Amino acid sequence: MAMHRSLAWLLALSVTAALLSAPVWAAEHPYVLHMMVLICIYAIPAVGLNLMLGYSGLVSLGHMGFAGLGAYTAAVLMVDARWSFWTALAAGTVSAGLAGVLIGLICFRFRGHFFMIVTLAFGLLLHAVMNNWDAVTRGAAGFAGIPRPKPIAWGDTVIAFGQLPNFYYLALALTVLVFALQYLVVRSNLGRILGAIRQDERLARSRGVNVLMYKTVVFSLGTALAGLGGVLHVSFLRVAAPASFTMLESINTVLIVIIGGAGFLVGPVLGAVVFVALPEGLRLANEWRLVIFGALLVLITLFAPSGLAGLLGRLWTRLGAGSKEPGP
């Protein structure tokens, strides 16, 4: 057991060191750092969906519509109203969360497949607004000229987020904060109540649990995190395009959570790594890369039904069992 814990600490320290030193070891390959930023950007909305799907059993097929709502809210405020990135980030996150409250109260009148269809409909509606409200969203052409955060100065030190390494640290810091929030929610009374609702909603209601309130809370939290990821997305690419928040992107986010491991804390980041890094690694295969990527996803689904996090957890448990010393 002691050896098992030592390996866990060693692994955690190694991953932390690799992430913090990424701008150093990827200095000659900036595209690697670019992909790591994209992994963070995709992982943040996936954490929100993981709280809904993995811990509460709520399958939303319009999740990236809320990311688009947060993104376009921030874009309008930064470009047209000249707000700073930080206040626009807060406004985009809050707007997506409030939309989650309003839409959630409507969606929760339905259950099962009907709930998924209604969330899909709202996702399509939000995308249609982004694509057609030319006066505000600039329509299908996209909303260009979105600024990155202004430089921060501490004495003689200036952190310019226009530089890729500095923006990477910003994305990494926000991702860590979001994962810390996920951990606190899952380990709190709220997380335990959500688990009870997922297991048996009728039993939870009979025990006096306000199911509608708790579902609304987690749905709002999940959509707020989607909005946060959307703001970071458009600030990094410096353009907001409706194509980034389509139904296909929502389905991809669901797949990120499922492949990574729904209901596991590290599931969203593992899924984001697969969906961002793996297709890029297969570019050498040219036209076969999507076929290979699809086949790999099928294999992951067959041999890791609980996701990559579940598979790694089982392997880690076996490693721990194998390292135990035999009794007398």
pLDDT one-digit tens code per residue, 120-156: 999 999 999 999 998 898 888 888 889 999 988 877 7
Q: Which has the minimum average pLDDT: 61-75, 143-157, 202-216, 269-283? A: 269-283
Pair 198, 186: CB distance under 8 Å: no
Q: Is the pLDDT of residue 12 over 90?
A: no
The whole-number pLDDT of residue 287 equals 64
pTM > 0.75:
yes
Cα separation, 127 vs 69, in Å, equals 9
Burial pattern 92-130, b for ≥16 Cβ within 10 A else e, equals: bbebbbebbeebbeebbeeeeeebbebbbbbbbebbebb
When comparing pLDDT for 10 and 250, which is higher? 250
Average pLDDT rounded to a whole number, residues 90-107: 93
Calculate ∠ Cα 281-269-131, nearest 5°.
80
The whole-number pLDDT of residue 325 equals 47
pLDDT in tens, 312-321: 888 877 776 5
**Strand ranges in 63-186 using DSSP code E only, listed in sequence order:** 143-144, 152-154, 157-159
DSSP 8-state class, residue 54: T
Nearest-10 crossing angle of helices 63-79, 247-260: 120
The whole-number pLDDT of residue 93 equals 97
The whole-number pLDDT of residue 328 equals 41
Q: Which has the minimum average pLDDT: 7-16, 66-75, 117-126? A: 7-16
User: Is 238 exposed, middle or buried (CB count within 10 Å of its CB: 0-12, 13-18, 19+)?
Assistant: middle
The whole-number pLDDT of residue 285 equals 59
